[in-house]
Chains A and B, each alone.
Chain A
């Protein structure tokens, strides 16, 4: 049973479009991390959000942690082909980090 549900599972868009990826759970997390993974490589951390309602920006990426610390979203503005990859959210409870199933994003030039 996956504690974290991500949507959409697949997303294919054109360069320049905006998109939002969602990460939802019925459980409360002490923090939530977002990773990006490219084929043949391990996931790489993008951001960690800790406080309910927190918003963090990383260039064209905006991350938000829900007020109740059960959900999170990742918004990408003006997507570029280099944004293509598998986006994974991961929730921390105690010392265990649980990953969602991922959103496979393809940005076409």
Chain B
């Protein structure tokens, strides 16, 4: 069974440019997460979806970040315009349970470098 698939793996852009990341979760997983991870630190939640509904987006910087999960399957995270401080690894994860003991399955991440 395929795991969580993310693309692109690497992206280098200049500041003020837009960028988008795509995530395909494990088949049948209703819960999808986007996390941001800075070098040497733990992941920080950006947004959590239950099916197509964003149920926790309190930490998403909504002035420049947006996300969607049309049809409740794959998801896209967009940054427009990107800033230098957005350089990080963007991790997508999925879970079969949105509850508090569910295991999260992570993709390999999309590493963003903003110049």
Contacts and interface: CB of A to CB of B under 8 A. Distances in A.
Given A96-B48, A96-B56, A44 B106 contact: yes
A106 interface: no
A7 interface: no
B106 A94 contact: no
Contacts of B108: 40-42
A90 B33 CA distance: 14
Interface in A9-59: 30-31, 33, 40-45, 48, 50
Contact of A101 (B42, B100, B107): B42
A60 interface: no
B85 interface: no
Contact of A104 (B40, B44, B93, B107): B40
B25 to A, nearest CB: 12
Contacts of B43: 43, 88, 99
Given A41-B108, A43-B106, A95 B100 contact: yes
B4 A42 contact: yes
Interface in B22-58: 33, 35, 40-45, 48, 55-56
Which of the listed residues B43, B56, B93 has the most CB atoms from chain A within 10 Å of its own CB? B43
A95 B98 contact: yes
Contacts of A42: 4, 91, 93, 105-109
Interface in B54-92: 55-56, 91
A42 B104 CA distance: 10
Contacts of A33: 103-104
Interface of B: 4, 33, 35, 40-45, 48, 55-56, 91, 93, 98-101, 103-109
